[in-house]
């Protein structure tokens, strides 16, 4: 399959704007709900979403087995059918496994991959560098490195990011630290053709105003159209519109993390009537004490909920 982006040079990924980190719909019995997955892809395309990430942490990649992981990537790529780019999550705490997932993503036609830092085993900075270098040098697909120390227990240092940016095939960085000062420093130091994406909804607009290419988002699962408008405004430097939209979404950005992601976002989508909200253990349903918080946040963002 030829990828959507038509990239012949592997060095960069021309994706910008709102990029939802897609949730994984499940049936009541916990199996994958492919029909709903297809419907969600269609909805995001209708709402103007720029690209989709499949099998990130929001997609519960940690609770899916390898065959389900591959099925999710394949289904999204095939159903999107070139209508928007698809970025496959292929991170693992084993370099060998990350390589296998990355090869699979390329083979089925993903446009790029998103590779989280190896978690739990806490490699050194040199280990992180060699991990990503090994992947980039063995699979010809643009690779976005993903730094989210709050979930992985390891922080990809700025100096390591700068070293990685010199490797052909390493296309960009998803920065989920939420540290605007640090992000600003990286934006000034990295090559202009190296893409930086926010991975933190609360600070994404600020980072885009400073030069980030887009937002790989949890919130965009719920309000894709509004998040697209926010990202477009930030990318275009329209500060008054950024302020206006930010007032509508700030509470939702917070509410979607009152418990571990993706517990709240799946509850919100279920309350909206878009999916069942089923999770796999060890994730458990949203605590009832948080339901009113989510309802209020959805209302502020302009979401009309069906009657119960």
Q: What is the pLDDT of residue 2?
A: 41
Checking if the pLDDT of 5 tops 50, the result is: no
Domain contains 305 = no
Domain contains 41 = yes
Q: What is the pLDDT of residue 11?
A: 52
Number of domains in the chain: 1
- Residues 6-34: what's their mean pLDDT? 82
Tens of pLDDT, residue by residue over 153-164, are 999 999 999 999
How many other CB atoms are found less than 10 A from the CB of residue 225?
16
266 is catalytic: no
Checking if the pLDDT of 149 tops 90, the result is: yes
Domain contains 213 = yes
Q: How confident is the model at residue 13 (pLDDT cuts 50, 70, 90)?
A: low
Q: What is the pLDDT of residue 193?
A: 87
* Torsions phi, psi for 125 (to 5 deg): -60, -35
Domain contains 299 = no
174 is catalytic: yes
Q: How confident is the model at residue 1 (pLDDT cuts 50, 70, 90)?
A: very low
Domain contains 248 = no
Q: How confident is the model at residue 7 (pLDDT cuts 50, 70, 90)?
A: very low
Domain contains 147 = yes
Catalytic position from the list 104, 106, 174, 197:
174
Catalytic position from the list 146, 197, 213, 229:
146
Tens of pLDDT, residue by residue over 238-294, are 999 999 999 999 999 999 999 999 999 999 999 999 999 999 999 999 999 999 999
Query: Are 59 and 258 within 8 A, CB to CB?
Result: no
Checking if the pLDDT of 90 tops 50, the result is: yes
Question: 115 - beta bridge partners?
Answer: 145
Domain that holds residue 151: 17-236
Q: What is the pLDDT of residue 143?
A: 97
Q: Which of 214, 274, 256, 265 is nearest to 39 (CA)?
A: 274
Q: Which of 6, 19, 285, 23 is nearest to 172 (CA)?
A: 19
Q: State the CATH number of the domain containing residue 29.
A: 3.20.20.70
What is the chain's length?
308
Domain contains 134 = yes
Domain contains 229 = yes
């Amino acid at each position: 399959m030829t990828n959507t982006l038509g990239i012949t040079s592997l060095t960069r990924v021309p994706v910008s704007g709102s990029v939802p980190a897609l949730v994984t719909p499940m049936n009541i019995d916990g199996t994958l709900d492919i029909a709903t997955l297809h419907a969600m892809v269609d909805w995001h395309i209708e709402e103007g979403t720029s690209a989709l990430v499949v099998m990130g942490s929001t997609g519960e990649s940690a609770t899916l087995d390898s065959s389900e992981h591959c099925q999710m990537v394949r289904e999204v790529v095939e159903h999107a059918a070139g209508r928007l780019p698809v970025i496959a999550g292929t991170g693992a705490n084993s370099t060998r496994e990350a390589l296998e997932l990355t090869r699979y993503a390329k083979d089925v036609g993903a446009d790029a991959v998103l590779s989280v830092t190896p978690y739990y085993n806490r490699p050194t900075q040199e280990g992180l560098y060699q991990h990503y270098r090994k992947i980039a040098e063995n699979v010809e697909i643009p690779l976005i490195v993903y730094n989210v120390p709050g979930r992985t227990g390891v922080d990809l240092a700025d100096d390591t990011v700068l070293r990685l940016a010199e490797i052909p095939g390493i296309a960009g960085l998803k920065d989920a630290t939420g540290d605007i000062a640090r992000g600003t420093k990286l934006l000034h130091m990295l090559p202009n053709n190296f893409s930086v994406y926010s991975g933190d909804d609360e600070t994404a607009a600020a980072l885009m105003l400073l030069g980030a290419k887009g937002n790989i988002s949890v919130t965009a699962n719920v309000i894709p159209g509004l998040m697209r408008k926010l990202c477009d405004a930030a990318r275009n430097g329209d500060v008054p519109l950024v302020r206006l939209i930010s007032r509508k979404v700030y509470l939702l950005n917070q509410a979607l993390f009152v418990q571990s992601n993706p517990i709240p976002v799946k509850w919100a989508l279920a309350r909206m009537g878009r999916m069942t909200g089923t999770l796999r253990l060890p994730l458990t349903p949203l605590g009832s004490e948080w339901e009113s918080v989510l309802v209020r946040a959805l209302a502020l963002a302009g979401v009309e909920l069906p009657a119960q």
